[in-house]
Amino acid sequence: MAPSDPLPRLRSDRPLLVLLAALTAGTIALVAMRMRATGSDDYDFLGWNLFLAWIPTFAAIAADRLRRRGAARGAYYLAAGVWLAFLPNAPYLVTDWVHLRIEGTGHLGYDVPLLAACSVIGLGLAVLSLQSMHAVVEERLGRFAGWAFVWTIATLVSCGVYLGRVGRLNSWQVVTDPGAIAAFVRTTLADPTGRPRALAVLAACALLFAMAYTVTASVRRLDRSASGR
């Protein structure tokens, strides 16, 4: 049975998506301005990272449309699989702060706004696309299963961010080189207690993402209930 105060879907989030798209375009323009003003391409990778961050949102939109149109389950599960594989790329943008150089640089006027904008975009896209999938699970299996799904995804996303930032692996390798991912995971799991910092980072990332999502989704649920939408 569907909940009485359902979560919003991506089709009702167009204003937020347009806002995030405008912020993405502005961020890319700022990268270009920085490159021209400084003669440095230090942050040119942000364009690619932003592109990857949008993929899970596009996949979630596709999955939502396929489901509403009654498409074959295989097509829906394919879109959902792409969403899950690429979802870590959105919150991964928050970790790009590691590139900030404070000492010996006069470019903080560019760098801080760039990285702040990327963090907002990454978290915004991650929350919106997860919210769409959360709604499907909640409608089919109930609220408890829906929130269990959220925390499971938060844990998987944290692992994905770790694979990317520490293991220097990417989502494409799920298809092109799954052996590299499996090898890194085996190496990490072989001595989990020997990597206390890694475990702490994973736990912190999962907790922070899940809490950020929970607060955002709960506020939006209350807003929709109050407005009667």
Task: Note the pTM of the prediction, 2 decimals.
Answer: 0.83
Three-state DSSP class for 3? coil
Average of pLDDT values for 117-139? 91
Say yes or no to pLDDT of 103 above 70.
Answer: no
2 vs 190: which has the higher pLDDT: 190
Say yes or no to pLDDT of 50 above 80.
Answer: yes
Cα–Cα distance, 22 to 12 (Å, whole number)? 18
pLDDT category of residue 118 using cuts at 50, 70 and 90: very high
pLDDT category of residue 10 using cuts at 50, 70 and 90: low
Say yes or no to pLDDT of 83 above 90.
Answer: yes
pLDDT for 2: 42
Say yes or no to pLDDT of 116 above 90.
Answer: yes
